[in-house]
Amino acid sequence: MDLLGIETQLSPAEQARLREVRELVQQQLRTQSVEYWNKEAFPAELVRTLGAAGLGGLQLQSGSQLLRGLIHAEIARADISLSSVVGIHNELIVGMIDSLGSQEQKDTWLPRLSRFEAFGAFALTEPEHGSDVAGGLGTEVVRDGQEYVITGSKRWIGMATLADFALVWARDPESGEVGAYLVESSRPGYRASKIENKIGLRIMQNADIELDQVRIPVANKLPGATSFAAANELLMQSRAWVGWQAVGAMMATLDITRQYSLQREQFGKPIASFQLVQQSLAEIAGHLTVCLSMMRDVALRQEQGELEMVQAALAKSTATRLARESVSQGRALLGGNGVVSDGHMAKVFCDVEILHTYEGTYEINSLIVGRALTGVSAFV
């Protein structure tokens, strides 16, 4: 429920596109995703549906940043796991090849990626390096004639077990230079193993990757990724996108709790008539409205090419914190029915825990904001 009417700031054509996406994901994702979430399984047919709707190439399409953000929120409103599949695919795979790749890499991969006929994996995080990966990157790349040889390990890499290729960030041990390399998953020495038993984003297939002297052609290096600064730019945009995921999570929470409170009766009347229930609903709506307004302003800065890391960090940390508070209220409002995934609220509750941590932890993003406020770094 958009109490400030932010959706009306879109053009009529963009409002129609947003409604189209909303209807699609509510009808064909929201309920259908629960079984896959429970089983930690990848719903290939649901992703094909998203591809047919043009959501695999969202990053390449014309339209305002506000529309793109609201579309990401609507997908998260239906299922946060699938919104991660769509968002990471667009922000970190399609976006990276489009902005940093060679013309040959673009011609080879973007048409298939934009239809979800191919998948990539963004391979930056390592088993021993998460928040400190910028300075601690351990994966090494060495040139050997007309090939690069890559050795190292990656962890928490989305879609790595299903991907056609991974965009691997590695360091030259002699020069210290960091670059990105397109490594096809079929190459000898590439192994990906699924990380099991996650509490959230269970549809997203995260994995460990082992790279044992994997050889790739020199042409597989992304020419635009010549330092970690290129990764930082991508991560900045990705952190803003997680803010939209958090907005979608709060939309889902308000949908679920409002409907439940009107239908659920206790003491002979709907619980929507109780003051404490109405207070929870109002607070959830307040969190949603504050974050939706903030993300609108972030979208405007993106439109103008003026988004800075501190603003992306503030948006991500604030939106996921308030989403976490909202889903906690929502889970409690549903009582016992809030602890089983069948009622959707438990699934949203668990997924938001992951939003709070990934794409830069809440704490690290808060410290980025703190550094901007004080001029003193608490970690680097």
Q: Look up tokens 């965009």; give the residue.
A: 167
Mean pLDDT value of segment 99-118: 97
Q: Return d(Cα 78, Cα 85) in angstroms, integer.
A: 13
pLDDT, tens only, 179-219: 999 999 999 999 999 999 999 999 999 999 999 999 999 99
pLDDT, tens only, 301-346: 999 999 999 999 999 999 999 999 999 999 999 999 999 998 899 9
Which candidate, 347, 342, 317, 313, places its Cα nearest to that of 330? 347
Does a structural domain hold residue 24? Answer: yes
Tell me whether strands 206-217 and 147-158 are parallel, antiparallel or unpaired.
Answer: antiparallel
Q: How confident is the model at residue 136 (pLDDT cuts 50, 70, 90)?
A: confident
DSSP-assigned letters across all residues of 210-225: EEEEEEEEGGGB-TT-
pLDDT above 70 coverage of the chain, percent = 99
Does a structural domain hold residue 67? Answer: yes
Residue 1's pLDDT is what? 76
Residue 279 in contact with residue 341, Cβ under 8 Å?
no
55-77 burial code (b ≥16 CB/10 A, e <16): bbbbbeeeebbbbbbbbbbbbbb
Mean pLDDT value of segment 37-60: 96
The answer on 289 and 329 residing in a single domain is: yes
Residue 72's pLDDT is what? 98
- Give the residue from 220, 247, 266 where a domain finishes: 220
pLDDT above 90 (res 242): yes
> Which residues, 6 or more positions from 217, have their beta carbon under 8 angstroms from its beta carbon?
146, 147, 148
Does a structural domain hold residue 234? Answer: yes
pTM, entire model = 0.95
Residue 327's pLDDT is what? 98
Residue 365's pLDDT is what? 92
Region for residue 378 given its phi and psi (left: phi exceeds 0; alpha: psi -120 to 50; beta: otherwise): alpha
- Identify the CATH number of the domain in which residue 63 sits: 1.10.540.10
pLDDT above 90 (res 144): yes
The answer on 327 and 207 residing in a single domain is: no
pLDDT above 90 (res 229): no
pLDDT above 90 coverage of the chain, percent = 91
Mean pLDDT value of segment 246-256: 98
The answer on 353 and 237 residing in a single domain is: yes
Q: Return d(Cα 22, Cα 91) in angstroms, integer.
A: 20
The answer on 249 and 321 residing in a single domain is: yes
- Give the residue from 74, 90, 114 where a domain finishes: 114
The answer on 315 and 234 residing in a single domain is: yes
Q: Which domain holds residue 31?
A: 6-114
Q: Return d(Cα 246, Cα 80) in angstroms, integer.
A: 9
Does a structural domain hold residue 237? Answer: yes
- Identify the CATH number of the domain in which residue 347 sits: 1.20.140.10
Q: Look up tokens 């229930």; give the residue.
A: 277
The answer on 70 and 47 residing in a single domain is: yes
DSSP label at 222?
A: -
Tell me whether strands 147-158 and 140-144 are parallel, antiparallel or unpaired.
Answer: antiparallel
Does a structural domain hold residue 380? Answer: no
Helical packing angle, 80-88 and 65-78, nearest 10°: 140
Residue 291 tokens read as: 């974050």
Residue 47's pLDDT is what? 97
The answer on 172 and 103 residing in a single domain is: no
- Coil, strand, or helix at residue 317? helix
pLDDT, tens only, 11-22: 999 999 999 999
Residue 151's pLDDT is what? 98
The answer on 350 and 237 residing in a single domain is: yes
pLDDT above 90 (res 126): yes
Q: Give the number of domains in the chain.
A: 3
Residue 194's pLDDT is what? 98
Residue 258's pLDDT is what? 97
Which candidate, 234, 225, 89, places its Cα nearest to that of 162? 89
The answer on 147 and 40 residing in a single domain is: no
Does a structural domain hold residue 175? Answer: yes
The answer on 152 and 236 residing in a single domain is: no
Does a structural domain hold residue 58? Answer: yes
Residue 169 in contact with residue 180, Cβ under 8 Å?
yes
pLDDT above 80 (res 380): no
CA angle 349, 5, 310 (to 5 degrees): 60
The answer on 303 and 205 residing in a single domain is: no
Mean pLDDT value of segment 35-60: 96
Does a structural domain hold residue 192? Answer: yes
DSSP label at 221?
A: B
Residue 278's pLDDT is what? 97
- Give the residue from 166, 191, 220 where a domain finishes: 220
Residue 359's pLDDT is what? 87
Residue 131's pLDDT is what? 77
Which candidate, 340, 295, 357, 343, places its Cα nearest to that of 156? 357
Region for residue 319 given its phi and psi (left: phi exceeds 0; alpha: psi -120 to 50; beta: otherwise): alpha
The answer on 105 and 184 residing in a single domain is: no
Return the minimum-mean-pLDDT range out of 92-106, 229-243, 276-290. Answer: 229-243
